[in-house]
Structure 1
Amino acid sequence: MSDDHTKVQEFFSARAADWDTRFPDDGPAYRAAVAGLGLSEGARVLDAGCGTGRALPALRDAVGPLGTVLGADLTPAMLEAARRAGRDRDGQLLLADVARLPLATESLDAVFGAGLISHLPHPAENLRELRRVVRPGGLLALFHPIGRRALAARQGRQITPDDLRAEDNLGPLLAGSGWRMTSYVDEDARFLAVAVRAN
């Protein structure tokens, strides 16, 4: 395992047990983001870097009982927290690195990533791997339950020009990784960038 992966695991392992209680009011924001994607009944979707699986119930509701919902995370403690919360009933949990997903090429209709982009060790390469598993015309949603400015304030820092989630940075990053950004929202109540897989 690389040093980057070890750092991510250590960060989230230390926070897994109380993650949901630290952010108890995020559920409606997750539901609204998933609803806005317009996923079809029966669709196949991955929550990449699913953490404690907070998006899985909304994803299950969106794709219905015949859809496929997968949640992949690198940190065993986060997946265990998801199981304790009963979210494994809404989707299959996978201990997996989003840099090397154990999924067939073009096997998904969409990928949802909450708080994912800032934890990717090699963003362009990692976004290409997400593209690999999504069919042409499929979706990528990069989400956070609060916007960039509100998140920076919560963490006691300023937004910097090199922030990957800035529209001027994210659009070209996605384009260079085989995605076309179709919408971008960055407001205090949420961050949501949606992209379509280019052919």
Structure 2
Amino acid sequence: MADDHTRVQDFFTTRAADWDTRFPDDGPAYAAGVDALGLRVGDAVLDAGCGTGRALPALRAAVGAQGAVLGVDLTAAMLDSAVRAGRDRSGALILADVARLPLRSRSLDAVFAAGLISHLSHPGPDLAELARVVRPGGQLALFHPIGRAALAARHGRPITDDDLRAEHNLRPLLARSGWLLGTYTDEDDHFLALAVRTR
């Protein structure tokens, strides 16, 4: 696991400084992804693998001043970029592994996770850890600002059936991890899988 963590940290550390400038047009997609969660004023929400915190302002707007917004990331350089962008004003930033969250069980109403699933060392247990911190009936949004086919094309590789984000793989993975997949959208301009925490 340490090697996986080191690989992820190395990947994002070298890209943290210019991450936002590489993807300057993702803001509306992030806002729409957050909106799909249906957050209410006063809710407590986690941005898991928050990176530079691009979702944090939209999450704060959704839950209001009464709500709680947390951003967790494994890479210090990404959190530093979030602070430089002023996004720490929208939520508390925590350097932590989503596989071992420093949060009480059932303490959150929702989790937003942009681009996270492909970087999880152990997707099943890691998604179960996200389920642990969400109350029954709470929601999980697995999001990406572009769909699977567009992302594969960006990286110069074909889309494959073994992709964890493919619905036929994601649905049973989520079910084994304490989530029930509801809405599944995979289009060129965004990917969004919404799941509910089961009892």
Superposition TM-score tier, normalisation by shorter sequence:
over 0.9
1:181 offset after TM fit, Å?
0.3
Counterpart for residue 156 of structure 2 = 156
Counterpart for residue 87 of structure 2 = 87
Count of paired positions: 199
TM-score for the superposition, normalised by structure 1 = 0.99
1:160 offset after TM fit, Å?
1.0
- How many angstroms apart in 1 are the aligned matches of 2:146 and 2:72? 22
* 1:75-104 deviation line (CA, Å, top 9, x unaligned): 000000000000000000000000000000
- How many angstroms apart in 2 are the aligned matches of 1:29 and 1:51? 16
* 1:135-185 deviation line (CA, Å, top 9, x unaligned): 000000000000000001111111111000000000000001010001000
Counterpart for residue 165 of structure 2 = 165
Counterpart for residue 51 of structure 2 = 51
- How many angstroms apart in 1 are the aligned matches of 2:110 and 2:161? 29
Counterpart for residue 62 of structure 1 = 62
Counterpart for residue 132 of structure 1 = 132
Counterpart for residue 26 of structure 1 = 26
* Letter matched to residue 134 of structure 2: V
- Secondary structure of 2:69's counterpart equals strand
* Structure 1 gap segments, 5+ residues each: none
- How many angstroms apart in 2 are the aligned matches of 1:51 and 1:37? 19
- How many angstroms apart in 2 are the aligned matches of 1:99 and 1:38? 25
TM-score for the superposition, normalised by structure 2 = 0.99
1:22 offset after TM fit, Å?
0.1
1:130 offset after TM fit, Å?
0.2
- How many angstroms apart in 1 are the aligned matches of 2:13 and 2:152? 22
- How many angstroms apart in 2 are the aligned matches of 1:63 and 1:99? 25
- Secondary structure of 1:128's counterpart equals helix
1:107 offset after TM fit, Å?
0.3
1:37 offset after TM fit, Å?
1.3
- Among all aligned residue pairs of Structure 1 and Structure 2, give the percentage whose two residues are the same amino acid: 73
1:26 offset after TM fit, Å?
0.2
Structure 1 stretches of 4+ moved >2 Å: none
- How many angstroms apart in 2 are the aligned matches of 1:66 and 1:13? 33
- Secondary structure of 2:71's counterpart equals strand
- How many angstroms apart in 2 are the aligned matches of 1:43 and 1:178? 20
* Letter matched to residue 187 of structure 2: E
- How many angstroms apart in 2 are the aligned matches of 1:151 and 1:87? 26
